[in-house]
Structure 1
Amino acid sequence: MKKLASIITLLTLSVVHMYGQEISKQAFEIKVITSVESIIPSGLGRSRLISSNDQRDYKQFTSSRTEENNSRNKSKRKDIRLKNFEETKLLNFYNLGGIRFQNIAANDALISSKLTEMLSEGWDLMFITSAVESDAGKNDDNGIFITRYILKRKFN
């Protein structure tokens, strides 16, 4: 009985070890989709759903500072910018009459369409994070509502 228990334990540990190695070998890609929705009164702002079609290696634009080496990364902004991205027009939250609920519903439909397509392409929605900047004082009528959708999928 002890031999059988030992064999089962060894087999279980082997399978768990092999499965763990397979998981650690899996490579994933991450994609961030950003919606920027204007909350400027009178509908004067611009609202968009943005998705990059290019990739960047963050290491090219990163420096590691230490007490001995305090140099910073000298990358140029033009090298970081990209021009290959998808831009979907969204509607502003406000028009001349105030908040426009139809615009919000239309934006929801467009964002849902984008996310549905991505899910069908094998992406998994990991996180959603949002923030708002509005009315920073007496003379500030500007504002945006920004949401980031963070997705992942296995490399093919």
Structure 2
Amino acid sequence: MKKTILLFSLMVLAFIPEIKAQTFEYQVITSVESIVPSGLGRSRLISANEERDYKEFTSQRSEENNGRNKSKRKEIRVKNFEETKLLNFYNLGGIRFQNIVANDAVVSSKINQMATEGWELAFVVSGVESDAGEEDGDGIYITRYIFKRLRN
């Protein structure tokens, strides 16, 4: 009986496809929206079209090894990227709600396109730098959309 169960188990296992750990790839899309009064800022939706390996620009530091990474900025910089124009939050009359809604429509379009390409919106992170004091008056609103999909 034990031999029959063992043989049956081996036969079942032979027909089960190999189980692999799922690995994902990630894509970051960033919206930078100006909150500069009078509409003088620039707003964009941007994403990289080339990859970088963070290890090339990373150093391991300790008490024994205090060396820093000697990478040049031009080695890190990405010149091949997608840039979509967005509208500024303000115009001469103040905050412009139509501009905000227009930006929402453009960002939604990008998210929908990414979804059709198999990307899943995994995380959304945002931050604001607005008016650093009486003399400043400038600011930006940044949102990072982090997508993932199964790696082939």
TM-score interval w.r.t. the shorter chain? 0.7 to 0.9
Structure 1 residue aligned with 2:77: 81
Match among 90, 94, 107 for residue 94 of structure 1 = 90
In structure 2, the partner of 1:69 is 65
Higher helix share: 1
4+ residue segments displaced more than 6 Å:
none
Partner of 2:132: 136
Using the alignment, how far apart are the partners of 2:119 and 2:144 within structure 1?
A: 15
- Which of 89, 108, 113 lines up with 2:109 in the alignment? 113
Aligned-CA RMSD value = 2.0
Identity %: 71
How many residue pairs are counted as aligned between the two chains? 142
Q: Where does the alignment leave 5 or more consecutive residues of structure 1 unmatched? A: none
- Matching of residue 57 in structure 1 with residue 46 in structure 2: no
Normalized against structure 2, the TM-score is what?
A: 0.87
Deviations 1:13-71 (A, max 9, x none): xx9xx99x52x2x3321110000000000000000000100000000000011121111
State how far apart, in whole Å, the 2-side matches of 1:152 and 1:72 are. Answer: 32
Q: Distance in 2 between matches of 1:28 and 1:56?
A: 17
Q: What is the one-letter code of the residue matched to 1:48? A: R
Matched, 1:33 2:29: yes
Alpha-carbon separation, structure 2, partners of 1:154 and 1:55: 17
Instruction: State the 1:80 CA deviation.
Output: 0.2
Q: Is 1:152 the counterpart of 2:141 in the alignment?
A: no
TM-score norm. by structure 1 comes to 0.85
